Amino acid sequence: MCSSAGPPTGALYDLLCASDAHVIHRRQPNHVAVSSAAHLCMGSLTPMLCSDTAHFKLHGGEVVKYRDADGLVEWLLRVLDGDADVADAARSYVEAHSADSAAETLLEALL
């Protein structure tokens, strides 16, 4: 059952894995921001195109950033043609920030 907040995570990943690309557009905030959508969806390893705003400042090569509509079209065509592979960087990011990795770091700090 879907809530008003969106589909359950499993259904979301089914959609992302069936997609060629995932575009997240955010307006520039007046404060420091983090996109929880990027963190939630990155594990699908579907190429993610994001507006170049403070929401995605923490992200490097694991997402493709665009500045305007022309940049979005250019990068989307490159992703669809296979010329912008971000899967390795996304995989590294997901592994480094996984629950297992966080638990391991916490256990090491406690011991």
How many domains does one find in the chain? 1
- What percent of the chain clears pLDDT 70, i.e. is strictly above it? 91
Question: Does residue 99 belong to any structural domain of this protein?
Answer: yes
37 part of a folded domain: yes
The pLDDT value given to residue 32:
65
In a domain, 35, yes or no: yes
* 70 part of a folded domain: yes
Is 2 contained in some domain? Answer: no
Tokens of 98: 């996984």
The residue among 69, 60, 68, 66 whose CA lies nearest residue 42 is 60
> Does residue 18 lie in a domain region?
no
Q: Are 36 and 56 in contact (CB under 8 A)?
A: no
pLDDT in tens, 66-87: 999 999 999 999 988 888 778 8
47 domain-assigned: yes
| Domain span at 100 | 23-110
The 10s digit of each residue's pLDDT in 28-59 is 877 767 778 888 888 888 999 999 988 888 78
User: pTM value?
Assistant: 0.74
Q: 91 lies in a domain?
A: yes
